[in-house]
């Protein structure tokens, strides 16, 4: 778990990278359906690693591309 990353920051980063408003992303929406691709996902991973995320790899997030899962994985918080 990482305290440097918050649920709000994860949501904001995802919204920025897919080019939409935070309110347009539901907790269980498939982010690939919203325009996320592997290059953008790697950008998020690098951003979150820089913020202190634990060892994080593309498959960790690509297997379940949902904000609620990512928040739980990265912060331990329930989205």
CATH code assigned at 64 = 1.10.1200.10
Look at residue 79 in the predicted model and tell me its pLDDT. 59
Exposure string for 27-61, b = 16+ CB within 10 A, e = fewer: eeeebeebebeeebbeebbeebeeeebeebeeebb
- Residues of the chain below pLDDT 50: 1-3
- Token pair in block for residue 2: 């990482």
Rg (Cα) of the chain, in Å, rounded?
A: 11
The number of folded domains in the chain is 1
Segments forming the whole domain that contains residue 43 = 7-75
The verdict on residue 65 lying in a domain is: yes
Place of tokens 């709000």: 8
Q: Give the model confidence (pLDDT) of 40-54 as tens digits.
A: 999 999 999 998 887
- Tell me the whole-structure pTM to 2 decimals: 0.89
The verdict on residue 57 lying in a domain is: yes
């Amino acid at each position: 778990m990482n305290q440097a990353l918050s649920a709000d920051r994860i949501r904001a980063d995802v919204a920025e990278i897919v080019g939409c408003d935070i309110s347009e992303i539901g907790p269980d929406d498939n982010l690939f359906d919203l325009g996320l691709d592997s290059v953008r996902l790697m950008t998020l991973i690098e951003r979150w690693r820089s913020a202190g995320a634990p060892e994080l790899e593309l498959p960790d997030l690509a297997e379940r591309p949902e904000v609620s899962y990512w928040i739980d994985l990265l912060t331990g918080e329930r989205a």
